[in-house]
Amino acid sequence: MYAYVEQIRLTRVAGRPGALGAPAPALNPRATPLASSPVAEITVKLPDGKELKLEEGATGNDAAAAIGPGLARAALAIRVNGELRDLARPLPDGAEIEIVTERDPDALPLIRHDAAHVLATAVLELYPGTKVSIGPAIEDGFYYDFEFPDGYRPNEDDFERIEKVMAEHIAADEAFERTDVPVEEALERFRAEDQPYKVELIEDLVREQGVKTVSLYRNGPFTDLCLGPHGPSTKRIKAFKLNSVAGAYWRGDENRQMLTRIYGTAFLSKEDLAEHERRMEEARARDHRKLGPELGLFRLRPESPGMPFWLPNGTTLFRLIQGEVDEQLRKRGYQEIRTPQVMDVELWHRSGHYDNYRENMYFSEVGDREFALRPMNCPGACLVFASEPRSYRDLPLRLAEYGAVFRHEREGVMHGLLRVRSFTQDDAHVYCTFDQVPEEVNSICEAIDELYARFGFTDVRVELSTRPEKSIGTAEQWERAERALADALEGQGREFQVNPGDGAFYGPKIDFHVTDALGRSWQLGTCQLDFFMPERFQLTYQGADNAEHRPVMIHRALLGSMERFAGILIEHYGGRFPTWLAPVQIAVLPVADRHNERARQVAAELADAGLRVRTDDRTESVGRKIRDAELAKLPYMVILGDRELESGKVSVRSHAEGDLGEHSLAELVERLYTEIRMKGTQTTERS
C-alpha cells in the first residue's frame, strides 16, 4: 500500500540489476507452441542476453517454469524492464526480464511488504472496525498505521495475540492476488467498508495524477489499496516478529489524526531473525538515550524539547570532539568566525531560506521587526565575506564557525541527540574561484578521511546528491556544479554513488556515510557547491584584471551536527570510549578514609600529567567503588590501600583487561600516554 503514497510523491522504485544463468529447455506448455496449431508468441530477453519464447499472455510464473522447475519453486517476483512486478502478471513482448529469488537484494523488502499486509489482516480480524492507512517495508522491517475503534491503543502485551493470528494466515498459504479496478469502484468499496484513509489516498491520486484505475491486493480476507508488488503467497514469509508500538500523525501532519503505528520485522529464515534480534538487543544496550544520563553525558528535559542539556562529562566529550575538528581547521588554513543567532527576516528572504525552509524555522517579532532564529549559518558567513573588499589574492577564503542552529522538528521525529531542534554545526564556508573548486573539495575530503579515522571509522561511503525538485538556479548552473563535484571525486579515484534529487535547494552536495560497530550506516559530513547564494548576496572580489567577479561558495561540515555525532559515538563505543576520548580516564579509589589524603595527592599528580581524573572518596566499600567505576565504563582505576601506601605504588585495574597489578605513577602515566598516542587505531568492544 505504501507504494501508492510514494507514487503520489511522484517517485517509483526501480529494480536493481542482477544476473541469471542461461535458460534451461522450456518446460511449460506456453513456452512450447504446438506445430499443428499456430499460437501467438512473445519473446523475452534474459539477463545473459539469450531469448526465451513464450505463449502470448505468459506470466512471470510461466517464464520461471520455462527456465527450470527449481527456479519456479524459488521465484518470488520478476523484474520487467527494470521494474519489480508480481509473478502472476502477464509479460509484454520484447521485455527484458529477471527472476527474483531469495538471493536478490529486493527479496527481503518484498517479504516485509507481504508481512505488513498480513499484520493488517490479523488486526482487522482481532479488532473489527479498525481503520487502516499505510503499511510499508522499511530498512529493518515494516510497519502499519491503524486507527483503532473506541480510542483503544494496543501495546506490546497484545503482540502475542496478533502474532498468533498472523502465523495462522501465513500457514494458510494465502495467495496475494492483484486486481486493477476503476477508481469509482475502489472508492465505493472503501467507503462502504468505512476506510477513509484509503478513500483519501485514491482521491489524491485522481486529483494529482489523474489516474483512472488503481490496483487492489487481496490475501485471505484482507483487501488493500496497493501498487505492489507482492510475493506469490503468505507462506513465503519464513520468520517474523512484532517489535514496538508508537504514535504517528496521518500523512506526517501534526494537525491530522494520531494513528497507532505497529512496527515489526520479517526475514527469509529463522536464523536471520535470531541474528537480527541479537543485534537489536545489543543496540538497546548501546542506546545513547539510555547511556547518556547513566554516564553523566547529557539529559533531555520537557522544559526544552529537542534541546539537550550537556552535563560535565558530556561537555568534556563535546570539547574533545571539537578539538579534533580544530586540528583540521589549523592544518587547512581556516579562520574562525562567530555570527548572530537571531537576524532580521529580510536576510532569510534574501538567502532563499524563507521560501524554501520556513516551515522548519522559528520566528519572533520585536517591535515592528520580524526576526528568525537561524536554521543555517551560511547567510551570516556571507555577511562576513561582504564586510570588507576582497581581492583574488584573498581566495580561497575559508571561514569556519561552530554555529548553533535551530530547526523546528515535529515531536514525533525527534530522537535523542540524533534528531534535535537545537544543535551545533562544525560549519565552514569556502569562497573561491571556480578553478579552485577541485583543490578545495580534495582538501575537504582529506580532512574528513583523517577525522573519521581518528574516531575509529574507516568504512566511509560517498554519495553525490543532485538537484532536488524544490531548488533555485538554472539547469545550466546545476549541471556545471554537479559536474565540478563529480570531477573532483573522480580525480581522487574515489568511488561514489549518485543520489538523484537529494541535493540542497541551492546546490549539489557530497555526503559522507560511516558504518558503526553494529554495521549501521550514518550520514555525517557534507560538501556542497553553491553558485546562488553569492549571487543573492551580491558577493564579489576584484580579479587580477581589476574587474569584479563572483566567488563560488562551498558549504562544508566535517561531522555535520556535533550533537548527532556525539550520539553516534556513544552507540558506536557503547559508552566504552577509548582512553583518549573518555571524559574521565582514571578513577582514584581509596580503600578507606585513612587513604583519602594519599588518593588526593595521586589524583593531583595524574591531573598535572594532563590526565582526566576523578577521586571517589565516599564512605563505601572498595568493592562498591570498583563496581560503580565499571558501570561508568571508566578506562582505568587506581586503588590505594595500606599495601600501596607502604610500597609507594598504586594497584591498577583496567576496564578492558581487569587487574594489572602494581605500577609506579610514572609507569601508569606512560601506559596511558601510549594509548592516547594510538588515537584512531583502537577498536570497539561488544557490549
| Top-ranked range on mean pLDDT: pick from 462-476, 496-510, 519-533, 609-623 | 609-623
Which of 79, 407, 572, 576 is labelled catalytic? 407
Domain closes at, from 285, 320, 349: 285
Shared domain check, 437 and 395: yes
264 in any annotated domain: yes
Provide the domain count of the chain: 4
Share of the chain above pLDDT 90, in %: 79
What average pLDDT score do residues 25-41 get?
Answer: 51
Whether the pLDDT of residue 233 is over 90: the answer is: yes
639 in any annotated domain: yes
* Residue 684, C-alpha cell as written in the block: 570497539
Give residue 684's pLDDT. Answer: 54
What average pLDDT score do residues 447-473 get?
Answer: 91
Whether the pLDDT of residue 212 is over 60: the answer is: yes
649 in any annotated domain: yes
Shared domain check, 538 and 599: no
Lowest mean pLDDT among 153-157, 253-257, 647-651: 253-257
Q: Please confirm, yes or no, whether 509 is among the known catalytic residues.
A: yes
Shared domain check, 117 and 72: no
* Residue 168, C-alpha cell as written in the block: 495462522
Domain closes at, from 49, 75, 100: 100
Shared domain check, 85 and 172: no
* Residue 188, C-alpha cell as written in the block: 465505493
What average pLDDT score do residues 456-483 get?
Answer: 88
5 in any annotated domain: no
Whether the pLDDT of residue 207 is over 50: the answer is: yes
Q: Please confirm, yes or no, whether 538 is among the known catalytic residues.
A: no
Give residue 6's pLDDT. Answer: 38
Question: How does pLDDT run across 481-507, given as a tens digit for each residue?
Answer: 899 899 989 988 999 999 999 888 778
Shared domain check, 590 and 450: no
Give residue 248's pLDDT. Answer: 87
Which of 230, 276, 429, 556 is labelled catalytic? 429
11 in any annotated domain: no
4 in any annotated domain: no
pLDDT band at 474 (very low <50, low <70, confident <90, very high): confident
Give residue 681's pLDDT. Answer: 59
Whether the pLDDT of residue 621 is over 50: the answer is: yes
Between the alpha carbon of residue 286 and those of residues 388, 484, 547, 571, the distances in Å are 49, 40, 58, 5
Shared domain check, 477 and 357: yes
Q: Which long-range contacts (CB under 8 A, 24 or more apart) does 447-451 make?
A: 447/328, 447/331, 447/332, 447/558, 448/512, 448/524, 448/525, 448/558, 450/328, 451/324, 451/325, 451/328, 451/558, 451/559
Give residue 683's pLDDT. Answer: 53
* CATH number of the domain enclosing 652: 3.40.50.800
* CATH number of the domain enclosing 25: 3.10.20.30
Whether the pLDDT of residue 479 is over 80: the answer is: yes
Whether the pLDDT of residue 16 is over 70: the answer is: no
Report the length, in residues, of the chain: 687
Give residue 38's pLDDT. Answer: 61
Lowest mean pLDDT among 152-156, 159-163, 648-652: 152-156
For the chain, give percent helix, strand, coil, nearest 5. Answer: 40, 25, 35
pLDDT band at 26 (very low <50, low <70, confident <90, very high): very low
Q: Which domain holds residue 220?
A: 107-285
Tell me which of 154 and 542 has the higher pLDDT.
542
Average of per-residue pLDDT values in the chain: 90
pLDDT band at 290 (very low <50, low <70, confident <90, very high): very high
What average pLDDT score do residues 82-96 get?
Answer: 94
Shared domain check, 390 and 434: yes
* Residue 506, C-alpha cell as written in the block: 541551492
Question: How does pLDDT run across 319-337, given as a tens digit for each residue?
Answer: 999 999 999 999 999 999 9
Dist. CA 503–CA 34, nearest whole Å? 56
Question: How does pLDDT run across 373-391, given as a tens digit for each residue?
Answer: 999 999 999 999 999 999 9
Q: Please confirm, yes or no, whether 378 is among the known catalytic residues.
A: yes
Which of 131, 236, 454, 509 is labelled catalytic? 509
Which of 378, 382, 432, 527 is labelled catalytic? 378
Question: How does pLDDT run across 426-452, given as a tens digit for each residue?
Answer: 999 999 999 999 999 999 999 999 999
Tell me which of 355 and 572 has the higher pLDDT.
572
Question: How does pLDDT run across 179-190, given as a tens digit for each residue?
Answer: 999 999 999 999
Shared domain check, 269 and 324: no
Give residue 18's pLDDT. Answer: 31
Which of 195, 328, 425, 477 is labelled catalytic? 425
Give residue 480's pLDDT. Answer: 87
**Spatial CB neighbours of 425, under 8 Å, sequence gap ≥ 6:** 376, 377, 401, 402, 403, 405, 557, 560, 561, 562
Shared domain check, 167 and 48: no
Which of 131, 241, 251, 555 is labelled catalytic? 555
557 in any annotated domain: yes
Kindly state the DSSP code that residue 145 receives in the 8-state scheme.
Answer: E
pLDDT band at 30 (very low <50, low <70, confident <90, very high): very low
What average pLDDT score do residues 54-72 get?
Answer: 93
Q: Is 86 left (phi over 0), alpha (psi -120 to 50) or beta?
A: beta
Shared domain check, 464 and 537: yes
Share of the chain above pLDDT 70, in %: 93
**Spatial CB neighbours of 283, under 8 Å, sequence gap ≥ 6:** 518, 520, 571
Whether the pLDDT of residue 63 is over 60: the answer is: yes
Whether the pLDDT of residue 19 is over 90: the answer is: no
Give residue 29's pLDDT. Answer: 43
* CATH number of the domain enclosing 503: 3.30.930.10
Domain closes at, from 59, 84, 100: 100
Shared domain check, 268 and 402: no
8 in any annotated domain: no
Lowest mean pLDDT among 136-140, 149-153, 649-653: 149-153
Which of 62, 427, 511, 616 is labelled catalytic? 427
Give residue 24's pLDDT. Answer: 35
Question: How does pLDDT run across 544-574, given as a tens digit for each residue?
Answer: 999 999 999 999 999 999 999 999 999 999 9
Shared domain check, 478 and 402: yes
